[in-house]
Structure 1
Amino acid sequence: MSTPSLADFADEARAFLDAHATPRASDGAVVWGEGPDRVTYFSDEPFEVEQANVQAARDWQRTRFENGFGWITGPKQYGGRELSIAHDLVYDGLEAGYDVPDTGVISLIGLGMIAPTMLAHARPEINEQYLPAMFRGDAIACQLFSEPNAGSDLANVQTKAVRDGDDWVLNGQKVWTSGAQHAQLGMAVCRTNTSVPKHKGITTFLIDMSWEGVDVRPLRQMSGGAEFNEVYLDDVRVPDTHRMGEVDDGWRVTMTTLLNERASVGGEGAGPATRPTSRANLLAMLKATGRDTDGGVRRDFARVIADQAATEYLTSQMMRRARAGDLPGPEASVGKLMFGQNLTRIAHLAAEMTGPRMLADTGDWGTFSWNELLLGTPAFRILGGTEEIMKNILGERVLGLPKEPA
């Protein structure tokens, strides 16, 4: 079958969306005081509501997959269509005009970070087993990377994997694992050799989160939600077929995931907070709060707008490189760095404009609702690699500056 042109593909996508979803009622214009009065990135919904949202995401992902839009760029042998990144972007742009469930719980980590790593390093039979299920929405994946003493210094992982015949036995603790409470699959980074430099003694495994010995414990965030988890691995037996890459070569596998992680985090805009953090909404907020005559606030507003524009241009550059078939480059780390800084600055600007009304609910629209984003901003500057780590990577590996003293 020939590759459809972008125009023909767009027509096909519109027909699918018209048949399975409802166009958004809004024309995109921001009217202060209208629309959802909530500004959040991380969920703090009751568990039952969160579960219902996850199920809706699964259902929509399955509908997309069964109609040829679940993995537009993926290999046909795993249910993809082998079309270009440009086709994928066309579909995303069209779907943005429809009311559909948020599939971030499925796509951001599992499909955006782990699936590309599996394609590059997992065995064909494992990819056959898991990849169609992931892109159909049947299996959600999580990263079992960070540990209490190995966050930004990921090579310091202490979770051990010991060979036992055709299996490996895993023991250790992971922490800050996003989405583990919903996941059926996990990618675990483990220590398999202690007699070599730490980067050279790591191996990665895919584990079924329902296997005996896997214990997921949610961590409560100060914003009220519990999207992060501790995961304990207690004598978890993993078949050697679930090993990704060679023994002790897991750092190379891990870096594949981290490059895709930074590209995903840095290039996704503001996720659920996209509309309230848009330039149009911030300008409407500036006027509605009466701070448009305050020179200091106007200066901070201008800086935020300039940073947003620079990030958008950088994201466009990343997309052009992706269309050309290039792997994520230094822009991924820069994009991730700017993403966290932008949301932090926006939250602080909102605090400046709303004042005490962000701390106590006075009933004024668009004021108290911002505290969820403000309380979530510390996480933006840590997830996917701390700002300090990102700056070191850019300084040492891109600018060629001297390595930071140990």
Structure 2
Amino acid sequence: MDFNDTPEEAAYRAQVREWLDKNATRKENAKDIAPPKDLQELLAQSKAWQAKKADAGYACITWPKEWGGGGGTTINNVIYSQEESKYAVPGGIFAIGLGMCIPTVMTWGPDEAKERFVRPAVRGDEIWCQLFSEPAGGSDVAGLRTKAEKDGDDWVINGQKVWTSGAHFCDYGILLVRTDPNVPKHKGLTMFWIDMKDPAVEVRPIKQMSGGAEFNEVFFTNLRVKDSQRLGKVGDGWKVALTTLMNERLAVGGSQGNADTDELISLARETDIAGEPAIRHGGVRERIADWYVQAQGLKFTRFRTLTALSKGETPGPESSISKIVAAKKMQDLGSFGMDLQDMGGVIRDRKISPEEGAYTEQWIGAAGYRIAGGTDEILRNIVAERVLGMPQDVRVDKDLPFNQAPKGK
């Protein structure tokens, strides 16, 4: 594959750069820009930037124009992402909604749901979260216990979800529940979209060791939803959820906006070891070279997945490979950056910490990425079974009705 821009792609890249130069600040010129003082300011800035992108055709570039997208190609999207990464722009709060939830609505939702939700999400007017994980299920999404019972034309939902990113500021969510406990666990699930502002939905933020509170517990007490809020058929929830999960692993396996090899090379040039720049030490160069090779492997594996997406295909199990490598690389690189900073590497106060504590924050936060979107162990099983064709793990509850399967206390 030739990764050089074609004349058309080069022209599009120049167009993107010109627009970004007019509407955003390059990172090297953004050191004096104050970060948002609180969540509300971050949300306001993020929504304003998303709306500006949507007006220019740079939000959800590959989605149809009738849904508010740019109507462009996958390569257009890659080019824009590469160029935007050089600018200090708000981002992140729409990743779950636009990367996982709305694609699920577009694939499985009725036309009314698409008409109602896709365009507002593209513009950033509404934010979505994904409600899958539960305390008793761990990494076994299909082991969930939140139940939905039919009541006339409605469903009544009771249960709990956990580790739900952004639930405290989201407007809507996609919710996976059990509608039939009398069949094996993968077959009795159904997906719905829900209103996160409904009084029957209670969100409790979880305080993390990093000081943040991005994750939440979410409780449902007699939450009543219409059958028209269902995504896919009753009992097809696992099939619907796979659309979300494959997109999730693609998103988590991509760039997280953290320090990578370029930033580490700069740090190694500016940091002394025994009186000379760290970059001159063979051991330092060897570690950076290893991560550079991993970064290139991730980039080309991602391009292969993007090729599938450009053909209208859902990301497959190969996305798990990127997620396994990227999350561990992120953690190891953060740890090494802290080591290069010596005692300064453990200081978390951004006002006095080297690099504003970026490597410390990256090392602390990376542990979450090794859990989000599937733990390392789960993803290795997926790669072994579905990519390499190795024998499946023993699953004693695979064919048992969910209400007969052994459960921990």
Do they superpose with TM above 0.5? yes
1:84 to 73, 96, 118: 73
In structure 2, what is the Cα distance between the partners aligned to 1:265 and 1:235? 33
**Contact conserved, 1:304 with 1:345, CA < 8 A, in 2?**
no
In structure 1, what is the Cα distance between the partners aligned to 2:311 and 2:144? 35
Deviation at 1:70, TM superposition (A): 2.6
Matching of residue 284 in structure 1 with residue 272 in structure 2: no
Deviation at 1:292, TM superposition (A): 4.2
> Counterpart in 1 of 2:90?
102
In structure 2, what is the Cα distance between the partners aligned to 1:305 and 1:82? 33
TM-score for both structures, normalised by structure 2: 0.85
Question: Counterparts of 1:256-335 in structure 2 under 5 Å?
Answer: 256-267=243-254, 269-271=255-257, 273=258, 277-287=259-269, 288-290=271-273, 291-292=278-279, 295-335=282-322
Q: From the superposition, tell whether residues 324 and 140 of structure 1 become closer, same or farther in structure 2 (CA, over 3 Å).
A: same
Matching of residue 178 in structure 1 with residue 165 in structure 2: yes
In structure 2, what is the Cα distance between the partners aligned to 1:164 and 1:206? 17
Q: From the superposition, tell whether residues 359 and 239 of structure 1 become closer, same or farther in structure 2 (CA, over 3 Å).
A: same
> Counterpart in 1 of 2:324?
337
**Contact conserved, 2:243 with 2:314, CA < 8 A, in 1?**
no
Matching of residue 24 in structure 1 with residue 26 in structure 2: yes
Structure 2 gap segments, 5+ residues each: 1-7, 396-409
In structure 2, what is the Cα distance between the partners aligned to 1:25 and 1:400? 44
Q: From the superposition, tell whether residues 348 and 246 of structure 1 become closer, same or farther in structure 2 (CA, over 3 Å).
A: same
In structure 2, what is the Cα distance between the partners aligned to 1:351 and 1:52? 30
Structure 1 gap segments, 5+ residues each: 28-33, 38-44
Question: Counterparts of 1:199-218 in structure 2 under 5 Å?
Answer: 199-218=186-205
Deviations 1:250-291 (A, max 9, x none): 000000000111111112x132x1xxx232321232241424
Deviation at 1:90, TM superposition (A): 3.1
CA RMSD of aligned residues (A): 2.7
1:224 to 203, 207, 211: 211
Q: Which amino acid in 1 is paired with 2:144?
A: V
Deviations 1:56-114 (A, max 9, x none): 11111112223333332223332234332222233333434544x322201x1100111
2:232 to 245, 265, 270: 245
Matching of residue 72 in structure 1 with residue 61 in structure 2: yes
Percent identity reads 37
> How many residue pairs end up in the alignment?
381
3-state secondary structure, aligned to 1:190: strand
TM-score for both structures, normalised by structure 1: 0.86
> Which has the higher relative contact order, 1 or 2, with Cα contacts under 8 A spaced 6 or more apart?
1
1:374 to 363, 367, 370: 363
Matching of residue 136 in structure 1 with residue 138 in structure 2: no
Deviation at 1:14, TM superposition (A): 5.2
